[in-house]
Amino acid sequence: MNKILVSILICLNIIFILVFFHVYTELHDKKIKVECLEEQVAYLSEHLPAARSTSVGASEATIRSLIAELRKDNIITQYQSGLRLKKIGLPAVPYLLEALKEASNKESRPVLILLESMGDASITPELVAVYKSSHDPLNRVGIINILASWGDNGAHELIRAAAMDKDWRLRAAAAKALLNYKEKEDMTAIVQLLADQNRYVRSAAQSALKNAVLKGGCISALQSIMNEGDSRTRFLLVKHLAKMGGDGATSLLSIAAQDKDGVISEEARNALSSEKR
């Protein structure tokens, strides 16, 4: 009997030691994590003091100085100046637009990001003007992306023109951007880019077409292409719809199956037959 009690006590002691060790380890780890967080907060407090003390009524000199900091190749400096410029708000926008005209692509990236978050469609004419005066394709791509996200009609013709630009990066950006407008001419431009000589442009157009069909907002424009578009555009559309599948693609292929062009109608019927199998 005594041996059994001794054995039980030994087991209880072992369990207590194991539990104690586990709890101690957990608390120790948490203490280390808290200390790390405290160190990070202290670092940010030391290096980003200006982000907390920005006044809204900033002078022109202050804004220009902050933009110069924003354009530096230093993520902490960009973060600090970006926060301060956001606090200043709309008064800083004209200076950001001015900086965008002068900046190289690397410098312009933080400026574009800040403009997108601070601005709105009211500055579309100014951004369009910067786009037209810029000789840097990547800056122009960034501007297209901003204008498309706002969906302002003031940039519509510019984005349509970009779909025919000699620079493939602008054509690829336009393929995605035109999806925001949903008109027949925009869908036609996207379909025509499916046959672009550049594979990145073709990929962007394929992605845009897939989104147009799946989301459904552009179906009426695509139906108009099936009924009224030129034969080359209709054939391109049918060819890519055949690879896509889904209800939206099927409804469009059903229209194409009645096409007056025998090649197009046959392609559509073959695609519909494949779906049924």
Q: Which tokens is 198 given?
A: 């550049």
CA 125/CA 147 separation, integer angstroms = 10
Q: Which tens digits make up the pLDDT trace of 187-223?
A: 999 999 999 999 999 999 999 998 888 776 778 888 8
- Provide the percentage of residues in the chain whose pLDDT is more than 70: 76
User: What pLDDT does 15 receive?
Assistant: 67
CA 256/CA 272 separation, integer angstroms = 10
CA 89/CA 234 separation, integer angstroms = 47
CA 50/CA 146 separation, integer angstroms = 28
Mean pLDDT of the chain: 79
Q: What is the 3-state secondary structure (H, E, C) of 51-110?
A: HHCCCCCCCHHHHHHHHHHHCCCCHHHHHHHHHHHHHHCHHHHHHHHHHHHHCCHHHHHH
Query: Do residues 149 and 159 touch, judged by C-beta distance below 8 A?
Result: no
User: What pLDDT does 49 receive?
Assistant: 43
Is pLDDT above 50 for 43?
no
Q: Which residue has the higher pLDDT, 274 or 270?
A: 270
CB count within 10 Å of CB 161 equals 12
Q: What angle do CA 139, 81, 112 make, to 5 degrees?
A: 15
Query: Do residues 143 and 131 touch, judged by C-beta distance below 8 A?
Result: yes
**pTM exceeds cut of 0.75:** no
Query: Do residues 275 and 257 touch, judged by C-beta distance below 8 A?
Result: no
Q: Which tens digits make up the pLDDT trace of 153-171?
A: 788 899 999 999 999 999 9
Q: Which tens digits make up the pLDDT trace of 66-110?
A: 888 888 888 888 888 888 988 888 888 888 888 888 766 677 788
CA 101 to chain centre: 22
- Residue 108: name the closest of 72, 54, 145, 160 by CA: 72
Residue located via tokens 């200006």? 50
User: What pLDDT does 170 receive?
Assistant: 95
Mean pLDDT score, 167-177: 94
Mean pLDDT score, 54-64: 72
